[in-house]
Structure 1
Amino acid sequence: MRLIVVLAAFLCASSVFADEACRRLQYLGDLYTVCTFDPARDDIRLYQNDRNGKLYGSFRALRNDLLEDRTYLRFAMNGGMYEEDQSPVGLFVQAGRELKPLDTKGGFGNFGLLPNGVFYIERGRVGVMETRAFAASGKKPLYATQSGPMLVIDGHLHPAFLIDSASLKMRNGVGVSVDGKAVFAVSNGPVRFHDFATLFRDALGCGNALFLDGSISSLYVPEWQRRDSLFPLGPIIAVAQMLPG
């Protein structure tokens, strides 16, 4: 009986929680999905493992686990790069517990294209900060994920981005607006780093923004009937809300 009640509440939750957090935006000829949340009002968290320590690995697994606590998954996005075993590449903090330490070294791939950075969540506040600045800050956030490269650093584009680059990929990232909101964006098609970074800086007004990943870029927005499930996932950024009743 409890399961039936929870599922009934879940089916009507889309209309209850539909708040136009997400929108489609065309920029420089490319189409993006952009979702904005206020950390003072919205419950933004990072997820990796469930209460039993089992890796979620998908939006569906996270959704089902949250439903056990009568909590509705409003939004989710892949939340950073991960190893072959789906563990985070760099810093990962979940509910105040550091599951993986900060990585300040350079290296190969997008993560090693320094400067990289950290998206972090404190009580009522979110931030994106370059990795070494984060290390020096002494911050102990409730949630954090490290990824790279940084897209925008204090209003400046990452110096390695080329305006005429031939590297086109699906991309997703997160920035923080001037009024302190978390702004998530995913391209609906392949784009270059330079264009994706200027989207955050010039179109979305984010002085700092972080690349989360490319190609596997996944999004969960149930109000739009979008529930990407093509790739296994590591860290997940999500916004959830208690079901009514």
Structure 2
Amino acid sequence: MSAVSGSEAMPPLALLAGGRATRLYPLTQTVPKSLMPVAGEPFLAHQLRWLAGQGVRDVVLCSGHLASQIREYAGDGEAFGVALRYSDDGERALGTGGAIRRALPLLGEAFLVMYGDSLLTAPLAPVWRDFQSQSCAGLMTVFRNENRWDASNVETGGGRVLRYEKGSQRAGLTHIDYGLSVFRAEAFQGIPDGRVFDLRLIFDELIARGELACHEVQQRFYEIGSFEGLHETEALLNRRAMARPGARA
């Protein structure tokens, strides 16, 4: 069942799945991270079904490394309840920012962005409503992490992201980037297609202009970007499967 009402249309979502996932080598040398088996099936299947349940119908998968395998597996997305389109990096990796810039013609004026190794638990509709209520060009979802599951990298205040510093141990960084963002296409204005850059560049520019809103969620994040995260996420999905009606012990 959808988590949003039929009258509340969700925007397109860019799913960033083009990285080489070197932290999971040798597993990801021949299999893209999105197709890593987790709780009995490729991780992408869990993501797409969750997105469909959140009311997202239009997903643009930004691919790169071993992209043909992802296309062959997921197709047009109908089996998972979404309409799936693809935007490929091409001959060289464009980075997270460059991949979104390339996908802009498929995404429209405003869109969600999620990482291809993230399994989120917070509902999407409140995030989208929060973004629509503001005039900011971008919004980052954040979680009060206090360095529990990874190094905190965000300082917030007044409904805005004030600092975003990956790998920093400076005081004041109590929150962490939750793995879901919202943008207006204008945030990428002036950047040419084909430029290689990280999404961090856009975040930094919006912070400097006071245009990066924040939406705090209360549920922790899960990910498969590391072996520890992979095992933790698989345990969560297995628990969910066992809790379904009719599940066999």
Q: Shared fold by TM > 0.5? A: no
Indicate the structure with greater helix content. 2
More contact order relative to length (CA 8 Å, sep ≥ 6): 1
TM-score band, normalised by the shorter chain?
Answer: under 0.3
Indicate the structure with greater strand content. 1
